[in-house]
Amino acid sequence: MDFDYNSTTQSLCAKVEAFMDAHVYPAERACTDWMDDPTKLWSQWPGLQALKAKARTQGLWNLFLPREYGKFSPGLTNLEYAPIAEIFGRVPWASEIFNCSAPDTGNMEVLAKYGSPEQQERWLNPLLEGEIRSAYVMTEPQVASSDATNIETSILPDGDDYVINGRKWWISGVRDPACKLLIVMGKTDPNAPRHQQHSTIIVPRDTPGVTIVRDLKLLGRLNAPGSEVEMRFENVRVPKENLILGEGRGFEIAQGRLGPGRIHHCMRSIGQAQRALEIMARRVDSRIAFGKRLADQSSIRQDIAKSFCEVEMARLLTLKAADRMDKVGNKAAKDLIAAIKVVAPSMAHRVIDRAIQSHGAMGLSDDTPLAEFLSINRYVRIADGPDEVHMSQLGKQKIAEYAAVKEGGS
């Protein structure tokens, strides 16, 4: 593949970078301080809506939705959007400004790909307009939810409705005052084949019986205003037309939701790693210890060099995965998708850790974004499936593929 971005991507990247320079980086500290203020929990930073309006006016809106989604997509491929996601990732909350933030992106993909016309009109359009936000409700405390077939929350028919009962946790975004939509995965038929027991259903956020049990801290921090929560569904009743695609299709929907999203996650991690590398370089170039610049220490130079190599390798691998998805589809590209999910956040974690080390105690504080970056990428190694799951499936696939080829064959 050609690793020079096409003119469409180059133009959009330039526009996004200019927007970030003019509006996002100058507001970074104000927004972070607002979100960390315990008196302002669960409320949006006041400057967010104005930035969203500016981004939309400039055509920097819903860029994440791949071309395959037809009328709902701005027309970009996964490869064209990938470097834009990297730029967004340099400031963790920036994606929302452009209506390109999780979990809304994955939920919009679900509704655009699998939703009925009525579901799209009621829920997808407001999400695309940025009028509401949403949450994806799958993970459960009592089972290993990295295996989606373990999910136990029941979704049972009762007349014209389905009734939902169960516990969920690590559900992101529910506390956001704009969250109006829950997309819930649960079990409709425990006697069906293993991958056909589950279904996915739309639950309006204000439905009776939906309660928050507690807020969960992510490595000691509340991610306000959306946060992560533990939830309980007690006799939650929604109409049957809220079921997405049909009974027994939940596992299929869950798998289909994750392809483009993993490109987005990985490129945002790469953006944070790249920014950490730049911050580290500026730090060691200006800091004097034991009579000379840190930049003159051989070990520091090695850290910079290793970090540069690792960022470049992860970026190229992720772009290759995006290109492969565009050309042959998500299923045929599943090996590369699994590989980037293992490689990118782990790489970012290492690079950010080196950057923190070069700052000494300052690196542990909020005077730089490094500590937040480290927390995010440790979390991403578990989100959307832990490393071990991806490596197990990737290893299984490659053993079968290579074992079928004779030595020296092709």
Q: Residue 233: phi, psi to the nearest 5?
A: -115, 115
The pair of structure tokens assigned to 262 is: 């993993």
Cα–Cα distance for residue pair 59/268, rounded to 1 Å? 20
- In a domain, residue 409? The reply is no
Q: Note the pLDDT of residue 257.
A: 78
Q: Note the pLDDT of residue 223.
A: 83
Do residues 350 and 310 lie in contact, with contact meaning Cβ atoms separated by under 8 Å? yes
Which helix or strand (DSSP H or E) is residue 229 part of?
strand 228-239
Give yes or no: residues 329 and 365 share one domain. yes
Q: Note the pLDDT of residue 3.
A: 67
- DSSP code per residue over 246-306: -TT-HHHHHHHHHHHHHHHHHHHHHHHHHHHHHHHHHHHHH-EETTEEGGGSHHHHHHHHH
Give yes or no: residues 148 and 290 share one domain. no
- In a domain, residue 57? The reply is yes
Give yes or no: residues 384 and 273 share one domain. yes
Give yes or no: residues 263 and 206 share one domain. no
Q: Note the pLDDT of residue 368.
A: 96
Q: Residue 170: phi, psi to the nearest 5?
A: 55, 45
What's the CATH code of the domain at 99? 1.10.540.10
Please list the alpha-helical segments (H only) found in 329-369: 334-359
Print pLDDT tens along the chain (410 aa): 456 899 999 999 999 999 999 999 999 999 989 988 989 988 999 999 999 999 999 999 999 988 878 788 888 999 999 999 999 999 999 999 999 999 999 999 999 999 999 999 999 999 999 999 999 999 999 998 888 889 999 999 999 999 999 999 999 999 999 999 999 999 999 999 999 999 999 999 999 999 999 999 988 888 888 889 999 999 999 999 999 999 999 988 988 777 788 899 999 999 999 999 999 999 999 999 999 999 999 999 999 999 999 999 999 999 999 999 999 998 899 999 999 999 999 999 999 999 999 999 999 999 999 999 999 999 999 988 899 999 999 999 999 999 998 776 65
Cβ contacts of 242 within 8 Å, gap of 6 or more:
119, 162, 201, 202, 203
Give yes or no: residues 275 and 385 share one domain. yes
What's the CATH code of the domain at 190? 2.40.110.10
Other beta carbons within 10 angstroms of residue 9's beta carbon come to: 18
Q: Note the pLDDT of residue 342.
A: 96
- In a domain, residue 71? The reply is yes
Is this structure's pTM higher than 0.85? yes
> How does strand 133-137 pair with strand 198-204?
unpaired
Other beta carbons within 10 angstroms of residue 108's beta carbon come to: 25
Residue of 346, 358, 364, 368 lying closest to 280 (CA atoms): 358
Q: Note the pLDDT of residue 410.
A: 58
Which helix or strand (DSSP H or E) is residue 328 part of?
helix 298-328
Cα–Cα distance for residue pair 257/264, rounded to 1 Å? 12
What's the CATH code of the domain at 396? 1.20.140.10
The pair of structure tokens assigned to 329 is: 């589809």
Give yes or no: residues 186 and 212 share one domain. yes
Give the total number of structural domains in the chain: 3
Cα–Cα distance for residue pair 224/176, rounded to 1 Å? 8
Give yes or no: residues 310 and 243 share one domain. no
- In a domain, residue 410? The reply is no
Give yes or no: residues 399 and 273 share one domain. yes
SS3 content of the chain, % helix, strand, coil (to 5): 55, 15, 30
Give yes or no: residues 264 and 393 share one domain. yes
The pair of structure tokens assigned to 199 is: 């279904």
Residue 321 burial (C-beta neighbours within 10 Å; 0-12, 13-18, 19+)? buried
Which of 108, 129, 150 is at the close of a domain?
129
Residue 2 burial (C-beta neighbours within 10 Å; 0-12, 13-18, 19+)? exposed
Give yes or no: residues 80 and 110 share one domain. yes
Give yes or no: residues 32 and 76 share one domain. yes
- In a domain, residue 1? The reply is no
Residue matched to tokens 């077939």: 149
Which of 107, 129, 151 is at the close of a domain?
129
The pair of structure tokens assigned to 236 is: 């939650």
Question: Domain of 312?
Answer: 251-403
Give yes or no: residues 109 and 147 share one domain. no
Which of 99, 129, 159 is at the close of a domain?
129
Cα–Cα distance for residue pair 139/111, rounded to 1 Å? 20
Which helix or strand (DSSP H or E) is residue 387 part of?
helix 387-403
CA distances from 187 to 153, 196, 204 (A): 6, 9, 19
Do residues 343 and 310 lie in contact, with contact meaning Cβ atoms separated by under 8 Å? no
- In a domain, residue 332? The reply is yes
